[in-house]
Amino acid sequence: MNGSPISSKGLLQVAVPTMAFPRKALLIMMMVGIGLAGCGGEKQSIQDIDNSPGELYFSYPAADQAAVPVTAPVFMRFTRALSLDENELSPELLRLESDQGEVIALTDLTMTSGQQGIAARPQQPLKPGTRYTLINKGLGTEMGEITLPGGGISFTTAPATQGPLLDRTEGNGFRVARFIPKGDDAYPATDISVIRIQFTEPVDEQTLIYGDTISLLDASNEPVPAEMYVQGHRVTVDPEGDLDPSQTYSISLTEGIRSTIADAPLELPPEAPWTITPLDSTSPKGVRERMAQTATTDTGKLALSGENFNSVNLSSLLLGSNNTTTATGTVFAELGFIPKFENAGQSVPLRIERGALMTGSDVVVNVAGALPAGFSSEAVEVRFLSDANGFLMKNPHTDNENAPRLVELYIDMALNTGNTIANAALGQELLHVHLVGTALVEDGTLSIEAVGVIEPDVMGVDVASGLISFRLESYRNPDDAPAESSFADSEAPTIKSWVPGEDNQDKFRPGDPVIVYLSEPVLPGSVTRESITLIKDGVEQPFTHSLNGSVLSVRPTSALEHGAHYSLLLNGITDLAGHSLSAPQLDFELAPTLDGTPSDQSPIALTTLPGFPCAKSSVDTANGHQGRCSGGQASDDLLPITQHPGNQPIAVRFSQDIEPATIIAGDSLTIESFEDGGWTPVPTADYTLQTGPRHLLITPMVSWSENTLYRYTLNANTPIRSVANLPLQTEILTQGTRDQGNRTFGGQPLVNYFTAAKPLSDRVALPLRNLPAADANADLAYQSGLEAGSVSGESMPNAAGLRASGVSAINEETLVQGANIGCAYALDCEKDQYIYLSAMLDTIVAGDTDDNGNIPVDILPSILATTSSSVWAFIDTSFVDAFPDFVLSVDLSENEEIPTGPMLMRIRYDENDDGHSVPPKGKIRSDENGDLTFETTLNVYLDAPYLNPSIGPANLGHNLRSYPIDQLVLKGPITFLDDGRMQIALENVEAVPIDVEVTGQIDITADNTDGICGSILFQWLCEGIANEAIDANTRIHLEIPAGQLRLNYISPYTQH
């Protein structure tokens, strides 16, 4: 095969390691077993045959291996025992150095396989897309120091799958990085080959159209029937049958294939299209050997890694570090005719066919490895999505004829679990999984040991690292092997869960995808526009779709709308064995609200990461703060300039749907860095914008420069606007009183400052959404009878119940005798005593427990916007009622309604022992019943910028400006939805008092009264009446009863 040199790249981005590893290991074992059996099967133990100091005969990463996971450990095995004891191992004996000269310290050095092996772990994750060399600096045997081949083991790490864009690339430009198989002697292309393509940048899946932009063409220039799988940088083309050795095939790629980075077209080299003439892998009789390999059920330690046989140890910040599972199962491997390939000096090819199944043991899911999440994975199933290809090769490191052979295997697999929640949280596909190992015959049985690392997504917010340590064995007596037919898939796929589902449609919003989680993977070729139908109010809708193993995501071209009825129909979708999915019609609606985007309320920013979502004043970067929210009080807390990990994007989340065309880099959005005493614009080519209906991500091409001060500005030169063309409202506060109808303005630019810092290594960012929300369109006005609020006074998620507990005079007496919320005094209207919240929250979760066994959580301050409520004041009008209206008529009623208008709650920073502002803390803990619980104590400001308490002829003020609510204790359970998302349901533990102070006096003058006293002719008669100043200074005692402030947070979807 012609084309780019192929350094096997197996960077996985998915799935539960347990299942993935078993399959790989089994495949490898089978292959090696067959190969060795064909060679006669003598015992492959290494004998001392000379006086050499010993040689390396296995390493992981392998020499020149590409796309090595950045969390990979280091393993080496030698032909002789090392001369030192394990307690004499030190990091100085091995040196891991990058091609830029950076030295990475190795830790946790241990001996494996007696004293013939070494295991070590880099002290920190390696950099993506970087070449490293492992150098011996003193390891030796009794015969002398060991010399590593080529002076050291060199390998290249995989590109990143998130973070700065250039970290997600290999080299320059969007090109083919490599083909697997490469088509040389080590990786021969044969009639049983699957074509695996790895690109230098992640591929836009929607631009990959088999038979158009990508094709495997036969000698007649016709596309070969095949299944195609896509994930990030990787594409697999799996022919439906064996390739024909008598034909020359071509791999046709076009410039229509696009990168997800800047939409760059594929660069095609002069040698495109690439050609391949497959080798015949059969014997002279036209057959290949098939044999069963099974995961050993014996206990023991793998010689290569020192870990338990067939174990996968999955670790991540969210899951903790000790999540070990064990794989079992049998697979059937086909081996190429050994003499043919050995005589040609080529590796022997092997294949495990699509649909092979391995089963993993139940894994208890813990948070941070310490607190039970309340569910386990149950049985874990891993199915091979395509034919797995492997290569059984002679050991390139040593001439010792007794050295074991090396095995490499590439597998595409999908993970599913028996538990519905775990299936959604962990289910995914893994493409080009790369395992390396050795094969030996021991006591007449072929044993294969293989290791590798996967880096699967966890719940859509974390990435795990899983070390695979497999040992597979053949059957000493082939007649003992189970019948292959007994492993055939006989069950049709089913729907395990879906988004939004029947019970969570109130949590669905415009821009969200419809996600269907199936019980097993399905064939991509059966998932087409013809097999998916999305209907809105009886009319078919355009959409795009993607398949991630067993997970189907459907994204409407136009965002879903409130008030419409939708249906998703699935037909003709089949699993890998051809069984059809029988799916019911999936009907759903978004939460009820007014049609369209509000035209009477501007959008606001609910979270800005980093920073605080308001325009600011009194900025003083020299003293480490960015001022206060404009319109707030002069005594408000100063907002700190926070640190932001240099590899993370800037993230802004809005209350309403934003028109993406108004988010313009360098215009409505600017980014600047502070250099040489001044602000310098960051070129727009140095970052990219990704917009959704209610979010904005700003991702740098390279990391934000560590220790550099930055600022980013929203509404910089022109305003960002909603789809209703209203400007982003940045000035959310005022010391005056805003007119209730004045809610469509924008404001001065919203600027946030931050200092770039090192990436997080011990914590994970967890963005949360406040859903469900009764005020679904976020117009900050509750539509009673339409929106899903309280019906009979019951409390609601993301709502606050307000009650009036009394009034008191600020001075000697007050004319306000009582108060009520939602209706006139003494009336009962509990359902109208709620305000409804629009909010989001950014948090950072620690990857370990504290000294009390709790998991610390940083809560990054943001705002909660509320709908309006009505305070009804019961007024003593006796001073007016004493006179008939024809004498004195004042516009003052016994029951006066005072609308609050939209209100805001601002979460405040805490202060540490050093007097510095820090995010408030929360904690995840297990309660007395062992259930996950979240607790936090917050200090907040309450603002009512539209509240005008003036009644009758009065002009009164109030104190709901930066009103402090201190020590607000919130607590509630953490549960998990069937779609894999985490739900945190908080309530206030104690009642929250809010003392509203209304200040001023009611002046009764001829200018504001009617009747005789309002006439100039008779003012002299009413001098003692119409010139009265009545004290209106009143304290209205409101409270949020315990359990009536409910905040319901939802983690992101597990599918991006």
Q: What are the counts of helices (DSSP H) followed by strands (DSSP E) for the chain? A: 4, 75
**Phi, psi of 273, rounded to the nearest 5 degrees:** -75, 150
Nearest to 466, CA basis, from 10, 976, 1051? 10
**pLDDT reading at 928 higher than 70:** yes
Regarding predicted confidence, which is higher, 210 or 1032? 210
Amino acid letter, 155: F
**pLDDT reading at 218 higher than 90:** yes
Provide the pLDDT for residue 722.
98
Q: How far apart are CA 414 and CA 388, in angstroms?
A: 13
Q: Contact at 8 Å (CB) between 241 and 227? A: no
The band of 21, judged by pLDDT with boundaries at 50, 70 and 90, is: very low
The band of 1025, judged by pLDDT with boundaries at 50, 70 and 90, is: low
Joined tokens for residue 451? 């290791």
Provide the pLDDT for residue 310.
85
**pLDDT reading at 8 higher than 50:** no
513 DSSP assignment: P
Instruction: Taking residues 819-823, report their average pLDDT.
Output: 97
Q: How far apart are CA 981 and CA 459, in angstroms?
A: 7
**pLDDT reading at 4 higher than 50:** no
Count of Cβ atoms closer than 10 Å to residue 778 Cβ: 27
**pLDDT reading at 23 higher than 60:** no
**pLDDT reading at 948 higher than 50:** yes
**Phi, psi of 367, rounded to the nearest 5 degrees:** -90, 125
Nearest to 410, CA basis, from 698, 197, 264? 197
Q: How far apart are CA 936 and CA 122, in angstroms?
A: 36
Joined tokens for residue 759? 């990436």
Cite the residue boundaries of each domain of the chain with CATH code 2.60.40.1220: 495-589
Contacting residues for 117 by C-beta, under 8 A, at least 6 apart: 75, 76, 77, 78, 111, 303, 304, 306
**pLDDT reading at 25 higher than 80:** no
Provide the pLDDT for residue 369.
86
Regarding predicted confidence, which is higher, 1007 or 305? 305
Q: Give me the percent of the chain exceeding a pLDDT of 90.
A: 75
pLDDT tens track for 688-711 = 999 999 999 999 999 999 999 999
**pLDDT reading at 9 higher than 60:** no
3-state SS string for 715-783 = CCCCCCEECCCCECECCCCCCCCCCCCCCCCCCCCEEEEEEEECCCCCEEEEEEEECCCCCCCCCCCCC
Using the Cα atoms of residue 936, residue 937, residue 943 and residue 944 in order, give the sign of their dihedral. positive
Using the Cα atoms of residue 790, residue 795, residue 797 and residue 802 in order, give the sign of their dihedral. positive
**pLDDT reading at 299 higher than 70:** yes
Cite the residue boundaries of each domain of the chain with CATH code 2.60.40.3710: 605-761
Q: Which stretches does DSSP call E strand in 20-168?
A: 56-60, 65-68, 74-78, 94-98, 103-104, 106-112, 117-122, 131-136, 140-141, 144-145, 153-157
Joined tokens for residue 548? 């991630």
Joined tokens for residue 549? 């193993």
Provide the pLDDT for residue 456.
86
**pLDDT reading at 3 higher than 60:** no
- Domain 495-589 belongs to what architecture? Sandwich (2.60)
Provide the pLDDT for residue 889.
60
pLDDT tens track for 503-515 = 999 999 999 999 9
665 DSSP assignment: B
**Phi, psi of 621, rounded to the nearest 5 degrees:** -65, -25
Segment holding 806, helix H or strand E = strand 803-809
Cα 752 → chain centroid: 24
The band of 181, judged by pLDDT with boundaries at 50, 70 and 90, is: very high
Nearest to 167, CA basis, from 54, 234, 70? 70
Contacting residues for 87 by C-beta, under 8 A, at least 6 apart: none
pLDDT tens track for 595-634 = 999 999 999 999 999 999 999 999 999 999 999 999 999 9
Instruction: Taking residues 98-114, report their average pLDDT.
Output: 93
Q: What is the assigned CATH class of domain 605-761?
A: mainly beta
Q: Contact at 8 Å (CB) between 559 and 510? A: yes
pLDDT tens track for 253-298 = 999 999 999 899 999 999 999 999 999 999 999 999 888 888 877 8
Residue 610: cis peptide before it, omega within 30 degrees of 0: yes
pLDDT tens track for 301-330 = 999 999 989 888 888 888 888 788 888 888
Q: Contact at 8 Å (CB) between 961 and 930? A: no
Average pLDDT of the chain, as a whole number:
90
**pLDDT reading at 12 higher than 50:** no
**pLDDT reading at 163 higher than 60:** yes
Q: How far apart are CA 287 and CA 242, in angstroms?
A: 13
Provide the pLDDT for residue 7.
31
Instruction: Taking residues 827-831, report their average pLDDT.
Output: 96
Regarding predicted confidence, which is higher, 485 or 447? 485
**pLDDT reading at 362 higher than 80:** yes
Q: Contact at 8 Å (CB) between 371 and 365? A: no
The band of 399, judged by pLDDT with boundaries at 50, 70 and 90, is: confident
User: How much is the pTM?
Assistant: 0.91
Provide the pLDDT for residue 979.
96
Regarding predicted confidence, which is higher, 983 or 149? 983
The band of 114, judged by pLDDT with boundaries at 50, 70 and 90, is: confident
The band of 880, judged by pLDDT with boundaries at 50, 70 and 90, is: low
Instruction: Taking residues 865-870, report their average pLDDT.
Output: 97
